[in-house]
Amino acid sequence: MNRLMSSEYIDPMFARLIKGMLHALPSQCRVCHAWPAQPVCEACVNRFAQPQARCETCALPVPEGVRRCGVCVKTPAPLDACLAAVSYAFPWSDLIVDYKFHNNPGLSSAFSLLLSSTPWVEPALDAADKVLPMPLSKERLKTRGFNQALILARQLAPDKTDHRLLLRIKDTPPQSSLRRADRLNSLDHAFAVEPLLIGQLKGARLVLIDDVMTSGASLYAAARVLRAAGAAHITALVIARTE
């Protein structure tokens, strides 16, 4: 049986997730409204966050035992690995929208715990030299007030997070509003590496963190820039992956 789906692995994973949530202040579950509970209660975590087999380089669901999806076999992604905690579906899609657009950064604790409890995330963070949040443009940061990826990165790996290395130098429309071809074109020259720090990337193992992966266009564009600067290995971590 695939190790990701075995009870020997799932039980410890949820034990860590639930233990962490129990240390937070009690509140109402944002999913089932149980009280008192954590932002996402134990029952909802068990119901909506079961691990599933995913393509190792784009995180799309695949049949058990399959390592890469057909698209990544035909056209390899510029990532060495890609890990997603859940699919972008109820209840996570609603919670992520609330997190990003309704001024609710407090949900980051539940999301970081969900991510850290996902198979292979902790080894990826341990092996990383640097953890880089996907940057926002100055215009987007001013509108939103915070970078959701930076908050997640600091909670997952505070000693390795560096928001100075990867820069967003071009503001683009939200990727969800564009067709796939337009997404790719809109991201031309959208990212750059800080010239004064480029030496830190040569031979480095990096983890890129974002909240949602849709087509992968943003993560792929950033990964290409980092690879051109000398990065040796790049893993992407996202809360949710669209299907």
**What structural domains and CATH numbers belong to the chain?**
50-241 (3.40.50)
Cis bond upstream, residue 36 (ω within 30): yes
| Rounded Cα distance, 107 and 97, in Å | 11
Residue 106's pLDDT is 79
Burial class (CB in 10 A: 0-12, 13-18, 19+), 115: buried
For residue 69, what are the contacts with CB-CB under 8 A and spacing of at least 6? 55, 58, 60, 62
With H, G, I as helix, E, B as strand and everything else as coil, classify residue 107.
Answer: helix
Classify residue 37 by its DSSP letter. Answer: B
Burial class (CB in 10 A: 0-12, 13-18, 19+), 114: buried
Is residue 38 a contact partner of residue 22, using CB atoms and an 8 Å limit? Answer: yes
Q: What is the rounded (10 degree) CA torsion for 226, 172, 68, 115?
A: 80
Is residue 211 a contact partner of residue 100, using CB atoms and an 8 Å limit? Answer: yes
For tokens 């443009």, the residue is 137
Degrees to nearest 5, angle at CA 214 with 28 and 142: 70
The per-residue pLDDT string of the chain (243 residues; one tens digit each, 9 = 90 and over) reads: 344 433 344 455 555 554 444 444 557 899 999 988 788 998 999 999 999 999 999 999 999 999 999 999 999 999 999 999 999 999 999 999 999 888 788 799 899 999 999 999 999 999 999 999 999 998 889 888 899 999 999 999 999 999 999 999 988 766 555 565 566 566 878 999 999 999 999 999 999 999 999 999 999 999 999 999 999 999 999 999 998
| Rounded Cα distance, 217 and 185, in Å | 9
Element spanning 233, H or E: strand 233-241
In single-letter form, the type of residue at position 228 comes to A
Tokens of 127: 């092996």
Rg of the chain on CA atoms, in Å: 17
Q: Return left, alpha or beta for 161; rule: phi > 0 is left, psi -120 to 50 is alpha, else beta.
A: beta
Residue 99's pLDDT is 92
Count helices and strands in the chain by DSSP H and E runs: 10, 6
